[in-house]
Amino acid sequence: MVTFQQIQELVNFRSEDLPVVSAYLNTDLRRVNKDQIRITLKDMIKAREEELRAQDLTHQQQASLKEDFKKLENFVTTELFPEENRGYVIFSCSGKDFWQVYPLPQRVKNALIVDPDIYVRPLLAILNQFHRFAFVIVDQRRAQLFEMYMGKIEDYSHLISPDVPGKVRYAGWYGLEEKRVHRHIEQHVHEHYKRVSNFLFQLMNRHKWDYFILGGKFHELPRFEKHLHRYILDRIIERVDVEPFSWDINRVKASALEIETRFMRERLEKMIDLLITDAKKDHKAALGLESVLQAANMGNIRLLMIEEDRVLPGYECFGCGFLAIRNTICPICGETMQQMDDLFDEIIENTVNFNGDYYQVPRGTLLGEFGGIGAFLRFEVPEEA
Ligand SMILES: [Zn+2]
């Protein structure tokens, strides 16, 4: 599970004068097999080593790099789980004892970058698409807490519920004793809910949850919610009728995933509706490959949306970065254009390089009717551009 702290650490990392290796690996088994993943990495390392030989690296820099490459190859051979993760991003700076691995539910474009800085932008663009969800399950005595992020679940239920007397078994004469016991229980329940709410609020600052799912008996949940902080209340996306500890972690995960998928899909569908309206109304939105390509070539994409698993070969000019569906000579700088496996990957890269955002869209939305690609633009494109 990628933690918020891990990302903070990443953004704050300084290698000083040592090189940092950033490796992006496509491990989508629907497109590559395990041997190909290993060979791709080996080839990329070889290419970088040749380039680096021409540079004046200090002994310390060389030693750090050598160790980075060794660790990477070792990782790909022994620790890779492409069955579960379609992409991996790994950062290494051995001289600084820095090593971070990000397994991703999305494929990434293969790349191996050696630079004084971490090549973090494509990773941040991917992480940007995912939200952290907290799943809280409560009753009058107990509470469970899970975190969902990028399809993975973490159990944070190490919360000790205060002792609450069990069910009232004996009623005293005329119900007097019953009333007293009942009041006593009410007090405990109130304190328990208050405690769980405070706990959630404190943890929230550290975990940066974006949304909440509440589990509990439906008739009981409103009492708990009375104690919740406004911020949390506003971010509850669904309530589930379930008692604490009645589901195992896989059931919790399946339920959370289903809710999350539905919620995210609805959000994306709203964005696509807006995209279509905007594209009709003015020129600050592009729909379909041709208009998105044009926007990409102008560095004009603010937010790119692409249907998952779309692939289309295309051309890129290595001189100026111009992208095209079928040009052989670059119309901008006149260089011969190179054939690329996937134009969609290149458009994503272009968007990210120009600091734009990117969302992967599931199949079956209206975007499919526009070739599976659309973008919100930064500035209007004149009609005759
Ligand atoms: Zn060019």
Phi, psi of 348, deg, nearest 5:
-60, -45
> At which of 68, 92, 127 does a domain end?
127
* Distance between CA atoms of residues 126 and 23, nearest Å: 15
Report CA(288)–ligand 1 centroid distance (Å): 23
Q: Same domain, yes or no, for 79 and 159?
A: no
Q: Same domain, yes or no, for 179 and 241?
A: yes
261 domain residue, yes or no: no
Left if phi > 0, otherwise alpha if psi is -120 to 50, otherwise beta: which for 2? beta
pTM for this model (two decimals): 0.81
CB-CB contact of 178 with 171 (8 Å): yes
pLDDT at 169 over 50: no
385 domain residue, yes or no: no
Looking up residue 180, the CATH number of its domain turns out to be 3.30.420.60
Q: Same domain, yes or no, for 123 and 137?
A: no
Report CA(335)–ligand 1 centroid distance (Å): 6
Report CA(329)–ligand 1 centroid distance (Å): 8
CB-CB contact of 116 with 37 (8 Å): no
pLDDT category at 162 given cuts 50, 70, 90 is very low
- pLDDT for 170: 46
Report CA(339)–ligand 1 centroid distance (Å): 13
Q: Same domain, yes or no, for 294 and 275?
A: yes
Q: Same domain, yes or no, for 323 and 275?
A: yes
256 domain residue, yes or no: no
Question: What mean pLDDT is predicted for residues 17-31?
Answer: 94
251 domain residue, yes or no: no
Report CA(331)–ligand 1 centroid distance (Å): 7
Question: What mean pLDDT is predicted for residues 33-61?
Answer: 94
Q: Same domain, yes or no, for 112 and 142?
A: no
pLDDT at 262 over 90: yes
pLDDT at 326 over 80: yes
Report CA(334)–ligand 1 centroid distance (Å): 6
DSSP per residue, 264-291: HHHHHHHHHHHHHHHHHHSSSEEESHHH
Q: Same domain, yes or no, for 213 and 290?
A: no
Report CA(290)–ligand 1 centroid distance (Å): 18
Helix, strand, coil content of the chain in percent (nearest 5) = 40, 20, 35
Report CA(234)–ligand 1 centroid distance (Å): 49
Looking up residue 357, the CATH number of its domain turns out to be 3.30.1330.30
Which tens digit of pLDDT belongs to each residue from 187-198? 889 999 999 999
29 domain residue, yes or no: yes
Q: Which of 119-128, 235-244, 257-266, 296-305 is predicted with the least confidence, judged by mean pLDDT? A: 119-128
Q: Same domain, yes or no, for 120 and 138?
A: no
Domain that holds residue 87: 4-127
CB-CB contact of 341 with 260 (8 Å): no
Q: Same domain, yes or no, for 120 and 12?
A: yes
Report CA(333)–ligand 1 centroid distance (Å): 4
**Mean pLDDT, rounded, of the chain:** 89
pLDDT at 365 over 80: yes
Q: Same domain, yes or no, for 17 and 93?
A: yes
Between 34 and 180, name the one with better pLDDT: 34
161 domain residue, yes or no: yes
Report CA(324)–ligand 1 centroid distance (Å): 10
Looking up residue 19, the CATH number of its domain turns out to be 3.30.960.10
> At which of 106, 127, 148 does a domain end?
127
> At which of 78, 94, 127 does a domain end?
127
Q: Same domain, yes or no, for 122 and 139?
A: no
Q: Same domain, yes or no, for 107 and 71?
A: yes
Report CA(289)–ligand 1 centroid distance (Å): 19
pLDDT at 117 over 60: yes
383 domain residue, yes or no: no
Residue 99 class from Cβ within 10 Å (0-12 exposed, 13-18 middle, 19+ buried)?
Answer: middle
Total tally of structural domains belonging to the chain? 3
